Amino acid sequence: MITASLIALPFIAAILLLLLPGNLSKWAALTATIIQAAFTAYVIVIFNINEHNSLLSNAQFIIDQPWISSIGIRFFAAIDGISMLMLILTNFLLPLIVLSTWDRPINNSKLFYFLVLLMQGALVGVFVSLDGFLYYIFWELALIPIYFIVLLWGGENRVKITFKFFIYTLLGSLFMLAAIIWLYLQTGDLHSFGVDAFYNLNLDMVQQRWIFWAFFLAYAIKIPLLPFHSWQPDTYNTAPNAGTMLLSAIMLKMGIYSVMRWLLPIAPGAVMAYADLVIILCIIGIIYASWIAIGQKEIKRLFAWSSIAHVALITAGVFTLSRTGFQGALIQMLSHGVCAVGMFFVAEIILRRRGTYAFDKLGGIREKAPVFASVFLVITFGSAALPLTSGFIGEFLLLNSLYEYNFWYATFAGLTIILGAVYMLRAFKFSMLGAAEEGSVFQDLSFTEKLVFFPIVGLIIFLGVFPQFIFNLTDESVKYLITEINQHLATGL
Amino acid sequence: MEKFAWLIPALPLIGFLFSIFFGKKVSKTVVASVASIFVLIPFILTVAIFIPFISVAEAEAIRIPLLEWINIGKLTVNYSIQLDQLSLMMMLVITGVGFLIHVYSAGYMHDDDGFHRFFAYLNLFIFFMLVLVMGSNFLMLFIGWEGVGLCSYLLIGFWYKNMDYNKAANKAFIMNRIGDLGLLLGIFLIYLRFSSFEYSRIAYEAIDIAIGDPIITTITILLFIGAIGKSAQLPLFTWLPDAMAGPTPVSALIHAATMVTAGVYLIIRTNILFTLAPFTQEIIMFVGLATALFAATIGLKQNDIKKVLAYSTVSQLGYMFFALGLGAYTAAYFHLFTHAFFKALLFLGSGSVIHAMSGEQDLRKMGGLKKALPITHATFLIGTIAIAGLPPLAGFFSKDQILASAFAHHPVLWIMGVLGALMTAFYMFRLYYLAFHGSFRGTHEQEHHLHESPKTMTFPLVILAVMSVIAGFVNVPEVLGGGHWLDNFFTPLLAGTTLILEENVHAHLSHTVEYILMGSSVLAVLAVIFYARIRYKNNGHVPAEDSEPMSFLERLLSKKYYVDELYDSIVSNPVVKGAGLLYNYIEVNFIDRIVNGVGQLVVLSSRTARFMQTGNVGFYIFAMVIGALVILAANTFLH
Amino acid sequence: MENITQFTGALTINHYLFLSSVLFSIGVMGVLLRRNFIIIFMCVELMLNAVNILLAAFSRYNGNQSGQVFVFFIMVVAAAEVAVGLAILVMIFRNIRTTDINALKNLKW
């Protein structure tokens, strides 16, 4: 019931919002997302981290209703540690994202907030669904609101860019759909799309390889990994900042989450076989994206590229198939989500006040807006993985897992420590530092802007100092994932 | 008393939070007092822990676990404190010198708009530096290690309106990060080898490892890369002279006395691993020696008072690494200890000079400051003598111990070491005579403004001058009738090393040899000082303006061997330019073109295919019938 | 009445098949060769009814009622189709004043 309510709340809120007058819609959206966040907090409290059951170890709040029973499609969802983390990510960041749009009037705000809530519902659906068909529906459903958000409120060239974004990601998902249907056919008399059935298929190596590529293509485009990333910088750049936050902070993580939920346990042998390939791809991606980020001349594009570098490291950590790798990936997803909202909000504020993202027209902001600059500084170092910030915990664990996997991988992936500092400090220097021009104005943070930033800063530091809370939440699921993979490998080989 | 050890780092952190959040609302006096007191109390606490500690012979390290940090299966790291000989000694220096510099800053920064920000950063620095030395495991060390890098970044770029300063700050942070990556990889390898991050565990297990073990060698090389970055050794030293962009107290505290010595601390902390890796030790020795000499030669031709001191710091750090490479860990620490006092003194003294000169840093514009700044002059002279290594000041004993170890290793090393010491003596006295003697060469306005600094600034100078005189007595060698107190104190710390080498790590030279070595080096130093006196005081020689023609060697030295230019042209420019090329050629013209190409292929093929739609209904029907027939035929014949 | 049943009883399934295929072929040829779209439309109806005959015949032959159910379905569909189709035809005729399908060449690209 709890799981179903978590999915349903945003959808219900979205519909109610349509019935309200337009000038109330931002209040309605804020209320709805805060209620959802409070509800999530309540779920965290009643979530039992030590629970053991046959379904995904500590999956709880299971809802399993027949839906299209003639072909075995169920409304099957539950929350385990990993889902819980993703829910925290989604539901705690959404109020901040809504709040980030506060000071700037949006045309047709009713539709905008409707789409944002729709997006939230779809994302929650993706993160809790355990039925392949249901999961796929939410997966695609998440694409539609963001498509319209970028298309209707985007910047330059938005028609062309959104078209590419939509087709590209849709194409990837198509392969995944084929794989899901194929897996369904393999379940035979069970006629089930459920993860439990999929996990128990014991595919042979050839089948696993096919499944791997079908899923991987979908996820690699969504994450995005090199060389499937080329939709991302343009889309991020043209999207309204709230949309970029949704994309970067949450939607990217659909891909990584899905790797852990759907790809790894179903095709562990193939994952093992291709792990090196994927990790190398990720490492090239880290260096490549970081390097390009260094050369960017606009702050938002720089952030977009940094995002590619970060998720590549997360993915590499996942493919080490180790406990530290998974834990590192999970906390880094959270951390990157928080930082991403912060970074793109920084870009948004710069755009609001100065009307441009270009570095050569910025500078001297710290002098005029010290609070804003300090906040940006914390986000900069959070993103550059300074110890006692959330970014460090993630990168430390990820690099450690890579190190245990292969010395050289960690060494090259570790370049992110240096390159990350280079591009973030460049961004900070070019946008914030230097002397302000005579008579230039840059208003410091308003009340609502502070309301967005302070939780972000707080989270960056809190997660860096006390990350154990997150590890406890996810540990049981991660352990389960590892035993699941090992079992498959033992029986399969 | 140990129960309150957690307060030692916690108080500066509270001070930081206070200054950041309330600094603007209260007066400058309150900010400065709060910040200083929150460093003074930790100093008193440290002393209170230290005194019972020294009264016990070979006291055991005290470990205090505080909070859980990361716990994932076997990967467990906690916030925990380790109090032993090394960390306590470091804490004394950090809080002691730190406190003095806080007091000094209250005067020095008095007219600055960012007063509260400055003290906030200083407190934050003290916090991270204490975490660095107090942690009981490598991750605590890493927190501090990167944290002090952050503070260094913030303080170098303190006057953020000047883009050059910001550039220097970025450079410092990024060069440090290069080292940090080495350190981090080293820590990973330690974890892989020992399954733990705790010092105690590693020391315990390392004893059974054979000398020259390749993994240990790799670990030590990686750790040393970390130390190179933080302690500004070759080839990552160029950030430290640039770091002089920060306010002078910062240069004294961070870039002379404490942060830059973190690399030395790291190696002494893991001395057992380095003892197991003679190969790494050789490297450290050569890097240290090369840095000591290289930086000293650059120091000969610098005209910016702070730049001279900066290169001197690099050179002295080189000495410490030289000692570490020789396996003389105590000597390295001893030099760190004395250096902290006299270099902080020199920097603060130069700050006092700069303060009096209204911001002028060029030695060629100074001269004759002796009369106007009597206290600064006296203390600065003490510092200069101490660094030059004349007995009985602090620098003499520590430098002598390093040189003695060098001689025990190989006489040529001793000669090189003495050469470095001579250059140090020369450029320091050059600086001293140029600044304090002769006639004033600045503008009239500056001359009019000349004044001794306020008490808050001279008080730390006096204390540090006293320390520069007496600090050397903690480890007076036997030959001079001393008791090797520091050597004995550090015995438990070096127990593993001693056990592995099965002998005492101290150099064994006969007393006669030691007398000869000391005597000859002191005489040589005196000769050099005399030469500097004749050249710069009696003859009134003033270095030429930059625009005047110089010999090749002079230009090479004054341009710092063009190292910065070299790094710019082989690293930073290619990286930035390469980023543009990568974006234009690989990204836009290759990857994205393939993606768009696939899209265009679909568009093109559909454009061709649509001509099949003639619009003629008859044709459609015909095609339909044919299609039906084909399906029928296929169905019939294929089965 | 009796004669008729007797007579039909003499008819084998082959007769029905033959009739049906002839009717169907006539329909096909009409659709293919004629230009007037009303005639084409009637030919389509002819084809549908050819199939209906076949369905009814097989239903009787196999003793299975579902074939006849299908016939009704087809009749309903055909009726609906006629309604829509004729409406379209009328609209087309009003617009272009001809019933020649070769005039309808705009259905392309």
Supply the DSSP string of B240-282, one letter for each residue.
HHHGGGS-HHHHHIIIIISGGGHHHHHHHHTHHHHHT-HHHHH
Min Cα separation A25/chain B (Å): 35
pLDDT in tens, A22-61: 788 889 999 999 999 999 999 999 988 887 777 777 888 8
Q: Do C105 and B616 make contact, defined as CB atoms within 8 angstroms?
A: yes
B442 DSSP assignment:
S
What is the pLDDT confidence band of residue C1, given thresholds at 50, 70 and 90? low
On whether residue C108 sits in a domain, the answer given is no
Nearest-angstrom CA–CA distance, B577 and B583: 10
Specify which residues A60 forms β-bridges with.
Answer: A79
* Environment class of A436 (CB within 10 Å of its CB; exposed 0-12, middle 13-18, buried 19+): middle
DSSP assignment string, A216-274: HHHHHHHTTPTTS-TTHHHHHHHS-HHHHHIIIIIIHHHHHHHIIIIIHHHSHHHHHHH
In A, minimum Cα distance to B166 occurs at A429
What is the pLDDT confidence band of residue A104, given thresholds at 50, 70 and 90? confident
pLDDT of B437 over the 90 cut:
no
Half-sphere exposure of A452 (CA within 13 A, CB side): 32
Is B633 in the A-facing interface, judged by CB distances under 8 Å?
A: no
Residue A285: predicted pLDDT: 92
pLDDT in tens, B367-379: 778 888 888 888 9
pLDDT in tens, A427-441: 999 988 888 887 778
Residue A230: predicted pLDDT: 86
Give the 3-state secondary structure of residue B502.
Answer: coil
Min Cα separation B4/chain A (Å): 21
pLDDT in tens, B130-146: 999 999 999 999 999 99
Specify which residues B362 forms β-bridges with.
Answer: B304
| Interval B484-503 mean pLDDT | 79
Residue A489: predicted pLDDT: 76
* Other Cβ atoms closer than 10 A to B145: 32
Do A425 and B170 meet the contact criterion of CB atoms below 8 Å apart? yes
Give the CA distances from residue A202 to residues A49, A320, A375, A487, B607, in Å, rounded to whole numbers and listed in that order: 28, 21, 50, 10, 45
pLDDT of B507 over the 60 cut:
no
Q: What is the interface size between B and C, counted as CB pairs within 8 Å?
A: 33
Angle (deg, nearest 10), helices A468-492 and A81-100: 130
| Interval A230-249 mean pLDDT | 90
Specify which residues B70 forms β-bridges with.
Answer: B77
Nearest-angstrom CA–CA distance, B316 and B293: 9
Q: Do A468 and B185 make contact, defined as CB atoms within 8 angstroms?
A: no
* Other Cβ atoms closer than 10 A to A152: 17
Q: Do B72 and A288 make contact, defined as CB atoms within 8 angstroms?
A: no
pLDDT of A492 over the 60 cut:
no
pLDDT in tens, A271-299: 888 999 999 999 999 999 999 999 888 99
- What sign does the CA torsion over B518, B521, B524, B530 have? negative
pLDDT of A334 over the 60 cut:
yes
* Global ipTM: 0.91
Chain CA centroid to CA A226, Å: 17
Chain CA centroid to CA C76, Å: 12
Touching pair C, B by Cβ (3+ pairs < 8 Å): yes
Is A68 in the B-facing interface, judged by CB distances under 8 Å?
A: no
Do B394 and B336 meet the contact criterion of CB atoms below 8 Å apart? no
Half-sphere exposure of B2 (CA within 13 A, CB side): 16
**Closest to B617 (Cβ–Cβ): which among C28, C101, C109?**
C101
pLDDT in tens, B577-631: 888 888 888 888 888 888 888 888 988 998 888 877 777 777 887 888 899 889 9
Nearest-angstrom CA–CA distance, C18 and B636: 19
Domain that holds residue C14: 2-100
Nearest-angstrom CA–CA distance, A415 and C89: 72
Give the 3-state secondary structure of residue A439.
Answer: coil
pLDDT in tens, B57-80: 777 888 888 888 888 888 888 899
Is A396 in the B-facing interface, judged by CB distances under 8 Å?
A: yes
- Dihedral of the alpha carbons of B354, B357, B359, B362, in degrees to the nearest 10: -80
Biggest CA-to-CA distance, chain C: 60
Which one is predicted more confidently, B553 or A197?
A: A197
**Closest to A291 (Cβ–Cβ): which among B68, B70, B582?**
B582
| Interval B572-578 mean pLDDT | 83
Average pLDDT, chain B: 86
pLDDT of B442 over the 80 cut:
no
What is the pLDDT confidence band of residue C7, given thresholds at 50, 70 and 90? low
On whether residue C39 sits in a domain, the answer given is yes
Nearest-angstrom CA–CA distance, A31 and A12: 13
What is the pLDDT confidence band of residue A253, given thresholds at 50, 70 and 90? very high
Nearest-angstrom CA–CA distance, B472 and A93: 58
Min Cα separation B109/chain A (Å): 18
CATH number, position C96: 1.10.287.3510
Which one is predicted more confidently, C62 or B2?
A: C62
Amino acid at C10: A
pLDDT of C3 over the 70 cut:
no
* Helices (H), ranges, B163-261: 163-194, 199-206, 214-230, 239-242, 248-252
**Closest to B192 (Cβ–Cβ): which among A295, A388, A403?**
A403
Min Cα separation A7/chain B (Å): 31
pLDDT in tens, A454-490: 999 999 999 999 999 889 888 888 888 888 888 877 7
Residue A353: predicted pLDDT: 87
Residues in chain B: 639
Which one is predicted more confidently, B503 or A134?
A: A134
Do B133 and B482 meet the contact criterion of CB atoms below 8 Å apart? no
* Environment class of C106 (CB within 10 Å of its CB; exposed 0-12, middle 13-18, buried 19+): exposed
Residue B181: predicted pLDDT: 92
pLDDT of B487 over the 60 cut:
yes
Is B139 in the A-facing interface, judged by CB distances under 8 Å?
A: yes
Kindly give, in sequence order, each residue whose CB lies less than 8 Å from that of residue B227, ignoring residues fewer than 6 positions away.
Answer: B179, B183, B233, B262, B263, B264, B266, B267, B321
Q: Model-level pTM?
A: 0.88
Report the neighbours of B using a cutoff of 3 or more CB pairs below 8 angstroms. Answer: A, C
pLDDT of B542 over the 80 cut:
no
Residue B512: predicted pLDDT: 83
* Other Cβ atoms closer than 10 A to C63: 7
Nearest-angstrom CA–CA distance, B121 and B16: 7
Residues in chain C: 109
Percent of chain A whose predicted confidence (pLDDT) is above 90: 51
Residue spans per domain, chain B: 1-276, 301-548, 564-638
Percent of chain A whose predicted confidence (pLDDT) is above 70: 99
**Closest to B615 (Cβ–Cβ): which among C31, C37, C106?**
C106
pLDDT of B563 over the 90 cut:
no
Range in A21-25, A355-359, B440-444 the model is least confident about: B440-444
Owner of token pair 């694409």: A143
Q: Do C104 and B613 make contact, defined as CB atoms within 8 angstroms?
A: no
* Closest C-alpha among A355, A371, A376 to residue A444: A371
Amino acid at B23: G
Kindly give, in sequence order, each residue whose CB lies less than 8 Å from that of residue C49, ignoring residues fewer than 6 positions away.
Answer: C23
* Helices (H), ranges, B511-561: 511-532, 552-558
Residue B370: predicted pLDDT: 81
- Positions of E strands within A86-191: none
pLDDT of C31 over the 90 cut:
no
Q: Do C102 and B615 make contact, defined as CB atoms within 8 angstroms?
A: no
Is B185 in the A-facing interface, judged by CB distances under 8 Å?
A: yes
Give the CA distances from residue B439 to residues B115, B355, B363, B371, B442, in Å, rounded to whole numbers and listed in that order: 35, 19, 12, 11, 9
Do B309 and B248 meet the contact criterion of CB atoms below 8 Å apart? no
Is A371 in the B-facing interface, judged by CB distances under 8 Å?
A: no
Residue A460: predicted pLDDT: 93
Q: Do B192 and A468 make contact, defined as CB atoms within 8 angstroms?
A: no
- Provide the token pair at C31: 């659709």
Min Cα separation B79/chain A (Å): 10
What is the pLDDT confidence band of residue B126, given thresholds at 50, 70 and 90? very high
Residue spans per domain, chain A: 2-492
| Interval A341-360 mean pLDDT | 90
Q: Do B618 and C101 make contact, defined as CB atoms within 8 angstroms?
A: yes
